[in-house]
Amino acid sequence: MAVRCLSDVCVQREAAASSAAAASWQQPLAAESFQRRYGMLLAQPVDNHTQSTAWIREATKHAPGSPAHHRAYVAPPASYGEMGASMFSLLYFAGFNTASRLLDVGCGSLRLGRLAIPFLDSTNYHCIEPSLSALAAGVQHEVGHDLLRLKWPAFALNADFQPPRDRQTYGETYDYIIAQSIFSHVGEDLLRLALGRLRQHMTSRTVFLATAILPGDPSWGELAKAEEYSGWLYPACTGFDPRRLETIASEHDLAFVVLPWPHERQTWFALCVREADALCRRVADGLPRFDEKRILNVQVALTHLARGA
Ligand SMILES: C[S@@+](CC[C@H](N)C(=O)[O-])C[C@H]1O[C@@H](n2cnc3c(N)ncnc32)[C@H](O)[C@@H]1O
């Protein structure tokens, strides 16, 4: 099957869209049943309008029983695992530990959550995600119910960058915030909204790790520029001029530092509150430098080995 990848989102083109493809396990959980099953983990009541119908359309194009449905919603399915590992590794090299409190902005189908939830202490994983469908599929197929009851992650279903906030432990600040492939889909207005809201949950110890498409990234030249766009664009992407990104960050009293961490299609950067800009620089300086060609060679060698070549 041909797979077309737009930035971090893959769209399976050859539809296997039979009625069987809409097998019941691929259907989104109705808002009420998600509420009934996982209500104790939800910070706000589920709002039906947050369901993404685009996701359902894409999901039904995948073969029934294939994990590609909820994985394709956030990324090329083939690199779902690697990108999760890359995010987790970046966090780890940035000082992440089991006691860290993490906010995963746009956690999608829990690509990072499936690694971070078991790693973190109970209640320390929080997520904001507007797509109930993607999140419910992530819970069902990537994380499992037992882990939820063991680790008590918290989910906030909204598109307003409002973290979970109505349990005793909520409404507080985070040690780490991560937004992978979120600002690659926004106009400047939404970036401003995001930084304004999330800044309230940062202290001088918070490291905010994020990606955007900047000049030098493969698709930058072809994209709508974030300064000329407003709102959310998906699965297509927007590109940022790094000077605009830095200016908007500084409007919110945040320092902006580009990170030398590999990403196939985007650029990683860190945000720290202005008086703690040294923290962001320390994160950048402390990251290991990778020789991407060598990693690729190892992966190619392993593939050959697996094929018995
Ligand atoms: C490209 S996916 C990335 C998902 C996840 N960060 C990952 O790397 O697997 C973008 C995600 O952002 C979510 N999203 C859309 N609008 C959002 C908003 N206003 N706030 C937070 N997330 C949003 C989408 O539903 C989707 O899950």
8 lines ligand 1 (CB under 6 A): yes
Q: Provide the pLDDT for residue 160.
A: 93
* Closest residue CA from atom 13 of ligand 1: 106
266 lines ligand 1 (CB under 6 A): no
Q: 105 C-alpha vs ligand 1 centroid, how far in Å?
A: 7
- Give the residue extent of every domain in the chain: 3-14+24-292
Between CA 163 and CA 171 the distance in angstroms is 7
Task: Output the CA–CA distances (angstroms, integers) from residue 279 to 87, 94, 95, 138, 283, in the order listed.
Answer: 19, 10, 11, 33, 6
Q: Provide the pLDDT for residue 32.
A: 58
Q: 95 C-alpha vs ligand 1 centroid, how far in Å?
A: 24
Mean pLDDT over 48-60 rounds to: 48
* Closest residue CA from atom 17 of ligand 1: 159
Mean pLDDT over 81-104 rounds to: 96
> Is 290 in a helix, a strand, or coil?
coil
Q: 122 C-alpha vs ligand 1 centroid, how far in Å?
A: 23
pLDDT-derived band at 47 (thresholds 50, 70, 90) equals very low
Task: Output the CA–CA distances (angstroms, integers) from residue 306 to 81, 133, 293, 294, 301, in the order listed.
Answer: 18, 35, 20, 18, 9
Instruction: Output the CA angle 212-214-216, nearest 5 degrees.
Output: 135
| Length in residues, the chain | 309
Q: Provide the pLDDT for residue 235.
A: 79
> Is 234 in a helix, a strand, or coil?
coil
115 lines ligand 1 (CB under 6 A): no
Say yes or no to pLDDT of 218 above 50: yes
Q: 19 C-alpha vs ligand 1 centroid, how far in Å?
A: 28
Between CA 157 and CA 309 the distance in angstroms is 47
* CATH 3.40.50.150, applies to 3-14+24-292: yes
pLDDT-derived band at 309 (thresholds 50, 70, 90) equals low
Q: 305 C-alpha vs ligand 1 centroid, how far in Å?
A: 36
Between CA 38 and CA 4 the distance in angstroms is 34
Say yes or no to pLDDT of 52 above 70: no
DSSP-assigned beta bridge partners for residue 104? 127, 178
Per-residue pLDDT tens over the stretch 161-203: 999 875 555 558 999 999 999 999 999 999 999 999 999 999 9
* Closest residue CA from atom 22 of ligand 1: 106
Give the count of beta carbons closer than 10 Å to the beta carbon of residue 128.
Answer: 27
What is the 3-state secondary structure of 23-69? CHHHCCCCHHHHHHHHHHHECCCCCHHHCCHHHHHHHCCCCCCCCHH
Task: Output the CA–CA distances (angstroms, integers) from residue 281 to 92, 273, 285, in the order listed.
Answer: 16, 12, 6
Quote the percentage of the chain above a pLDDT of 90.
54
* Closest residue CA from atom 12 of ligand 1: 106
Give the count of beta carbons closer than 10 Å to the beta carbon of residue 289.
Answer: 8
pTM of the model: 0.82
Q: 54 C-alpha vs ligand 1 centroid, how far in Å?
A: 13
Q: 45 C-alpha vs ligand 1 centroid, how far in Å?
A: 19
Q: Provide the pLDDT for residue 173.
A: 93
User: Residue 55 carries which side chain, given as an amino acid letter?
Assistant: W
DSSP-assigned beta bridge partners for residue 172? none
Kindly give the number of the ligand 1 atom that is closest to the alpha carbon of 161.
20
Residues 6+ apart with CB under 8 A from 52: 73, 130, 131, 132, 133, 134
Give the count of beta carbons closer than 10 Å to the beta carbon of residue 64.
Answer: 16
